[in-house]
């Protein structure tokens, strides 16, 4: 695995790999876990070469979020990626991505604004901006993101459609389904913040979500099913439900009725010290 941290050698390295077939990009902020490795495996199955970016993007951290405390483990991450068969690691410094005088921001309205976007103003602008730059830097044929962060995926898809970055122009954006534990809880580095008792209790989240989806499919009013879902989470040990919404899967507009289009149930709730997010097709 080759590692590059400047744009010119990145372009040269990608151009050399492109002769051998499709290039897949897996954007990350490092501190890699099983979820990232699932994206890498999926990328390897779909492309001749996989490029992984590791960049802790300052623009997606809010004023009250500790950018300096974000884990940085480049050596360990690099070893994992080499073992996973990644061809190229793109690990630029912040000054390479945002040189002095940098002044451009990409803001995707609508889809960025509700759910997690309401609590983290500017966060999805930072994500859209850096992902747009990564697409231009690497020019991948495909890019893979976890469906676990459905809002992020929806923002990136909207940005790429709006800026003509999606296939057939540039990149095919692939959402990779959430990997779950045996009891249904979505895998997340945040699960590590849970005590044994909280971890056991947290399985109520996917269970209650499935029940709400089944109830809506059977004709229960969306507002009632969501109220029951929130009550089940609180009864099951979550102390706060930040939101639980049925949304249009693309625009993330809240739905008060199921309708015929594709819909997603999206939830964020807190248990112990962890804020867990999950989403399912509804």
Active site residues: 36
Site for ligand PAF contains 29 (CB under 6 A): yes
Minimum gap (Å) between residue 189 Cβ and ligand PAF: 10
Q: Closest Cα partner for 143 from 110, 109, 171, 180?
A: 171
Q: How far apart are CA 239 and CA 250, in angstroms?
A: 29
Minimum gap (Å) between residue 6 Cβ and ligand PAF: 19
Q: Which of 38, 57, 137, 279 binds ligand PAF (CB under 6 A)?
A: 57
Residue nearest ligand PAF (C-beta atom) = 27
Q: How far apart are CA 87 and CA 83, in angstroms?
A: 10
For ligand PAF, which stretch binds (CB under 6 A), given 90-98, 123-131, 164-172, 209-217?
123-131
Nearer to ligand PAF, 57 or 226 (CB): 57
Minimum gap (Å) between residue 194 Cβ and ligand PAF: 21
Give DSSP secondary structure letters for 145-162. Answer: EETTSHHHHHHHHHHHHH
For ligand PAF, which stretch binds (CB under 6 A), given 27-35, 37-45, 165-173, 217-225?
27-35
Site for ligand PAF contains 131 (CB under 6 A): yes
Minimum gap (Å) between residue 245 Cβ and ligand PAF: 21
Nearer to ligand PAF, 135 or 238 (CB): 135
Site for ligand PAF contains 28 (CB under 6 A): yes
Cβ-proximal residues to 280 (8 Å cutoff; 6+ apart), any chain: 206, 209, 210, 213, 264, 265
Q: Which of 130, 209, 216, 225 binds ligand PAF (CB under 6 A)?
A: 130
Interface mask (CB under 6 A) for ligand PAF, residues 223-262, using x and -?
----------------------------------------
Q: How far is CA 202 from CA 80, 208, 276, in A?
A: 29, 10, 9
Q: Closest Cα partner for 48 from 160, 167, 141?
A: 141
Give DSSP secondary structure letters for 157-207. Answer: HHHHHHTT-BTTSSBEEEEEPPPB-TTSPBP-GGGGGS-HHHHHHTTHHHH
Tokens of 144: 């893979």
Site for ligand PAF contains 127 (CB under 6 A): yes
Residues of the shown chain interacting with ligand PAF in the complex, contacts defined by CB under 6 A: 27-29, 57, 60, 127, 130-131, 149, 152
């Amino acid at each position: 695995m080759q590692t590059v941290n400047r744009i010119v050698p990145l372009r040269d390295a990608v151009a050399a790999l492109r002769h051998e077939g499709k290039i897949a990009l897996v954007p990350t902020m490092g501190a890699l876990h099983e979820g990232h490795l699932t994206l890498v495996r999926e990328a390897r199955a779909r492309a001749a070469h996989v490029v992984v970016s590791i960049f802790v993007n300052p623009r997606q951290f809010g004023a009250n979020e500790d950018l300096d405390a974000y884990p940085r483990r480049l050596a360990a991450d690099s070893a994992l990626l080499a073992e996973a068969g990644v061809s190229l690691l793109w690990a630029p410094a912040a000054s390479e991505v945002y040189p002095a005088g940098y002044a451009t921001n990409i803001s995707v309205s609508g889809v960025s604004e509700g759910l997690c976007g309401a609590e983290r103003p500017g966060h999805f602008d930072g994500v859209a901006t850096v992902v747009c730059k990564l697409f231009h830097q690497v020019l991948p044929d495909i890019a893979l993101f976890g469906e676990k962060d459905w809002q992020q995926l929806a923002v990136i898809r909207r940005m790429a459609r709006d800026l003509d970055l999606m296939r057939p122009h540039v990149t095919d954006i692939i959402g990779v389904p959430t990997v779950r534990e045996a009891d249904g809880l979505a895998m997340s580095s945040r699960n590590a913040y849970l005590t044994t008792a909280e971890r056991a209790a947290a399985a109520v989240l996917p269970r209650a979500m499935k029940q709400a989806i089944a109830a809506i499919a059977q004709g229960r009013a969306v507002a009632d099913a969501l109220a029951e879902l929130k009550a089940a989470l609180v009864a099951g040990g979550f102390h706060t439900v930040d939101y639980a919404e049925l949304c249009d899967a693309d625009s993330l507009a809240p739905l008060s009725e199921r309708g015929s289009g594709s819909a997603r149930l999206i939830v964020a709730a807190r248990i112990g010290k962890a804020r867990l997010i999950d989403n399912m097709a509804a």
